């Protein structure tokens, strides 16, 4: 095992970097982090639009959510991979293609979490905010979102975990990330399949377990803060 890790450790960690694009575990982390960072602002807007009383905005956001929530990620990746170059008339690197697909896909799920978070607040909260003279956006920013986002943290982190795992599909269009590295090592090694994929599995496991743990800690912290227990 030590031998194996010595030989392939670097490929697991960073892929073919610095001779090629950053890959391996680092590639996965980068893809997931950029994917989530990109999806979240979109999701925020779409989630808010879903609760809007202005019909065109509400309709458009609903169509977005229903469309991308109902299509498997791999389909969106394929569409992006084959269609986008035709539309814009130039090659798009696999990493960017996968990133865009993940952003689009995750924005639909995150938006639903945000919508649910906003709608689960008691109606009296909005009424109280409007009654003291706050406008629609002030109410959203000062009263609804702070409460909704903190209520949503467990669901959001849950979605983050599933995004990290979802990035593994991107290996299919040749994106350098952890699953791609494992695939590469497996085709060099040929006999070490179990070992190779065990290491890959452990990587995903520890990363996601850590995030789940973080979700618990954050949740408790926020609960205490609301109860006024935090110093």
Partner 1 sequence: MIQFEGVNKWYKKYHALNNICGEVRKGEVLVVCGPSGSGKSTMIRTINRLEEIQSGTITVQGENITNPKLDINRLRAGIGFVFQQFNLFPHLSVKENIALSPIKVGGKTRQEAYEMAEALLEKVGLRSKLDEMPSNLSGGQQQRVAIARALAQQPPLILFDEPTSALDPEMVGEVLNVMKTLAADGMTMVCVTHEMNFAREVADRIWFMDQGEILEESTPAEFFNAPRHERARKFLSDIIH
What residues make contact with partner 1 under the rule CB under 8 A? 122, 124-125, 127-135, 138, 142-143, 146-147, 150, 225-228
Of the pair 217, 227, the CB lying nearest partner 1 is at 227
Based on CB atoms, which residue is closest to partner 1, 72 or 146? 146
Q: Whose Cβ is closer to partner 1: residue 202's or residue 230's? A: 230
* Nearest-approach distance from CB 197 to partner 1, in angstroms: 45
**Least spacing, CB of residue 41 vs partner 1, in Å:** 22
Query: Which tokens in the block code for residue 66?
Result: 């229903």
Q: Which is nearer to partner 1, 58 or 130 (CB)?
A: 130
Q: Using CB atoms within 10 A of its CB, is residue 118 exposed (0-12), middle (13-18) or buried (19+)?
A: buried
- Residue 154 CB, nearest distance to partner 1 (Å)? 16
**Residue with token string 């040929």:** 190
**Minimum CB distance to partner 1, residue 113 (Å):** 18
Q: Closest separation between CB of residue 61 and partner 1, Å?
A: 25
| Residue 115 C-beta: closest distance to partner 1, Å | 19
Nearer to partner 1, 62 or 155 (CB): 155
Q: Terminus-to-terminus CA distance in the chain, angstroms?
A: 48
In terms of DSSP H, where are the helices of the chain? 2-14, 24-50, 55-69, 73-88, 94-119, 123-131, 136-139, 145-166, 178-189, 193-226
Cβ 172 to partner 1, closest distance in Å? Answer: 43
Among candidates 21, 165, 94, 23, which has minimal Cα distance to 10? 23
Q: Report whether 48 contacts 140 (CB < 8 A).
A: yes
Token reading at 157: 């982190």
Q: Which is nearer to partner 1, 136 or 206 (CB)?
A: 136
DSSP designation for 120: T
Rounded Cα distance, 110 and 148, in Å: 13
> Tokens 């450790």 — which residue?
9
Q: Which is nearer to partner 1, 119 or 127 (CB)?
A: 127
- CB-based contact 102:165 (threshold 8 Å): no
């Amino acid at each position: 095992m030590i031998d194996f890790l010595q030989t392939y450790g670097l490929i697991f960690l960073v892929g073919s970097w610095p001779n090629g694009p950053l890959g391996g575990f680092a590639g996965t982390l980068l893809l997931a982090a950029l994917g989530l960072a990109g999806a979240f602002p979109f999701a925020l807007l779409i989630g808010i639009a879903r609760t809007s009383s202005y019909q065109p905005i509400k309709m458009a956001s609903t169509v977005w959510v229903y469309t991308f929530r109902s299509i498997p990620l791999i389909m969106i990746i394929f569409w992006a991979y084959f269609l986008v170059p035709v539309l814009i008339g130039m090659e798009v690197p696999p990493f960017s293609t996968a990133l865009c697909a993940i952003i689009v896909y995750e924005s639909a799920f995150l938006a639903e979490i945000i919508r649910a978070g906003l709608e689960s607040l008691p109606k009296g909260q909005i009424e109280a905010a409007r009654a003291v003279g706050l406008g629609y956006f002030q109410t959203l920013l000062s009263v609804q979102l702070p409460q909704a986002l903190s209520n949503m943290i467990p669901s959001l982190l849950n979605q983050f975990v599933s995004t990290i795992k979802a990035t593994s599909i991107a290996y299919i269009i040749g994106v350098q990330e952890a699953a791609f590295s494992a695939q590469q090592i497996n085709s060099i090694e040929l006999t070490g399949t179990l070992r190779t994929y065990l290491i890959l599995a452990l990587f995903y496991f520890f990363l996601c377990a850590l995030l789940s743990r973080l979700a618990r800690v954050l949740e408790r912290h926020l609960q205490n803060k609301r109860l006024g227990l935090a110093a």
